Copies of this chain bind each other. A is one copy, B any other.
Amino acid sequence: MKRTIFLYGLSLAALIVALKLLEFRFMVHSLSLEIYLSTIAVLFTAFGVWAGLKLTRPKTVLVPQTTYQFDTKRLETLGISKREYEVLELMAKGLSNQEIADTLFVSLNTIKTHSSNLFLKLDSKRRTQAIQRAKEIGLLP
């Protein structure tokens, strides 16, 4: 910070010196005051922009990472069917097999079959493990 202020003053001084030199060399009295002012204004505006961006914390907007999206490809590579995925979703919500069966209007045995297939395809032995794996590979949010 101190260094920046120092550099600022230094460049200001340098600019003035440069202009003074110009003044003597090329009879700059012929140049109008407006030209001077404009030049300096533009230069220091540019400097201001640069300094402002450099010195202030970058504005960052935190976006809640909604990376997840339904990826049919991944399901296909694992051979997981639509119905099995539905079961997986409800499992992840913490529902029991019976509750899942009631939700999907099928029998408990059907859910057991689906879940067994899921465990095979997700290489897991328990529902909690299956859920964890599914989240790891992005099947579930």
**A residues whose Cβ falls under 8 Å from a Cβ of B:** 8, 12, 15-16, 19-20, 23, 33-34, 36-38, 40-53, 56, 58-65, 67, 91-96, 124-133
**How many copies altogether?**
2
Which residues of B are found within 8 Å of A15, using beta-carbon distances? 37, 41
Shortest C-beta distance, A79 to chain B (Å), equals 21
Shortest C-beta distance, A14 to chain B (Å), equals 11
- Is the contact region of chain A dominated by helix, strand, or loop, or is it mixed? helix
| Bound CA–CA A95/B130 (angstroms) | 10
| Bound CA–CA A8/B64 (angstroms) | 37
Nearest residue in B to A55 (C-beta to C-beta)? B49
> Which single member of B38, B48, B96 contacts A52 (CB below 8 Å)?
B48
27 A/B residue pairs, CB under 8 Å, sorted by A: A12-B38, A15-B37, A15-B41, A16-B34, A16-B37, A16-B38, A36-B37, A37-B40, A40-B41, A40-B44, A42-B44, A43-B44, A45-B51, A48-B51, A49-B51, A56-B59, A58-B60, A59-B60, A59-B61, A60-B61, A61-B61, A61-B62, A62-B65, A63-B65, A93-B132, A94-B131, A95-B128
